[in-house]
Amino acid sequence: MATEIKNTWTRAEITEIYNRPVLELIYQGATVHRQYHDTGEVQVCTLLSVKTGGCPEDCAYCPQAARYHTDVKVQKLMEVEEVLTAASQAKESGSTRFCMGAAWREVRDNKDFDKVLEMVKGVNGMGMEVCCTLGMLTEEQAVKLHNAGLYAYNHNLDTSEEFYDDIITTRTYDDRLNTIENVRKSGISVCSGGIIGMGESHDDRIGMLHVLANLPEHPESVPVNALVPVEGTPLEEQPRVSVWEMIRMIATARIIMPKAMVRLSAGRVRMTVEEQALCFLAGANSIFAGDKLLTTPNPEVDADKEMFQILNLKPRPAHKGKDTPQPVELHQIPGTGILV
């Protein structure tokens, strides 16, 4: 029997899963993972910051907020051609999803948005899954993006509703949920997750997972980011999160949202191959590749290629099963209780 897909999780149920002994949790994450996904496949996504810095928001983690003094240089929206060149390089190097990020509070109906729609059309035309993360969206804007060929939209909850005000004051949790709803209504696939290591409690992490897992439909992808502390931001001094905390988040997300792609996102640059392997075992099946995330470093492309070889992983093809993998039958190894 495959694990049930439901959106009626209680906080107590999620707390119980999150707090299981870590090795047991990994085993259970791995079991659910193989019920719903090909465990030899990892989705490879490339990020590109198409508009960088100068953002009016006050997200405490973010090097692109205009009010903090970081090394990020403000760059206006890139030209469509430059973006398409970067996308074709990403495709060459094995990425099947291309995600364009803009340091905007929200999308405005102006020439810049028209340019982004052109970028979406162009990247979609290359056969890659196109994703954008542009801030808040209305339903009409979401429909325009969908019609241009947008496959997914990333809009993170970032943390629990209770801790949110400690991190961001310039928009509300409900604003975030609203955008996610607009994306869902337009038919675009939803990518939403959060960040750990910002000073939140375990209960805040559980709270965020609770909201995600109880959305009317689970997000098709759930990024789990470890904070990249950047000099000049209010969170610059935050201590590094341990890999065991990433594993707890990943395995819990995998168990409660079995069909989602769980993305081991920011923070890989400080992880060994062995640590990342544990994350894949616990249920992560997607990464960002390329030596830069939006503005901070990520592992070198060659290092990731070597990791895929060592771990016998292959990149997941674009548009596979339209991100809605079906459960597969499990078989018991005779004489054991092990399901494969």
Q: Would you call 279 a catalytic residue per the annotation? A: no
Burial class of residue 202, CB neighbours in 10 A (0-12, 13-18, 19+) = middle
Q: What is d(CA 200, CA 178) in angstroms, rounded to the nearest whole number? A: 23
Point out which residues bind ligand DTB (CB under 6 A): 47, 63, 101, 133, 154, 156, 193, 223, 225, 228, 265-266, 293-296
62 binds ligand SF4 (CB under 6 A): yes
Q: What is d(CA 19, CA 37) in angstroms, rounded to the nearest whole number? A: 24
Q: Which of 72, 78, 103, 246 binds ligand SAM (CB under 6 A)?
A: 103
Query: Which residue in this structure is represented by tokens 């993305």?
Result: 263
Q: How close are the terminal C-alpha atoms of the chain, in Å?
A: 12
| Residues 118-147 close enough to bind ligand SF4 by CB under 6 A | 135
Residues whose CB falls within 8 Å of the CB of residue 242, separated by 6 or more in sequence, listed in order: none
**Least separation in angstroms between CB 118 and ligand SAM:** 19
Q: Would you call 263 a catalytic residue per the annotation? A: yes
Q: What is d(CA 131, CA 226) in angstroms, rounded to the nearest whole number? A: 21
Count of CB atoms situated within 10 Å of the CB of 237: 9
Q: Which of 65, 29, 55, 11 is nearest to 204 (CA)?
A: 11
**Least separation in angstroms between CB 291 and ligand DTB:** 11
| Residues 1-60 close enough to bind ligand SAM by CB under 6 A | none
**Least separation in angstroms between CB 149 and ligand SAM:** 19
Q: Would you call 131 a catalytic residue per the annotation? A: yes
Given ligand DTB, ligand SF4, ligand SAM, none, residue 100, with its beta carbon under 5 to 8 Å by kind, binds none
Q: Would you call 132 a catalytic residue per the annotation? A: no
Q: What is d(CA 265, CA 226) in angstroms, rounded to the nearest whole number? A: 7
The residues annotated with a catalytic role in the active site are 55, 59, 62, 99, 131, 191, 263
State the residues that interact with ligand SF4 by CB under 6 A: 55, 57, 59, 62, 64-65, 103, 105, 135
State the residues that interact with ligand SAM by CB under 6 A: 61-62, 64, 101, 103-104, 133, 135, 155-156, 158, 195, 225, 227-228, 230, 266, 294
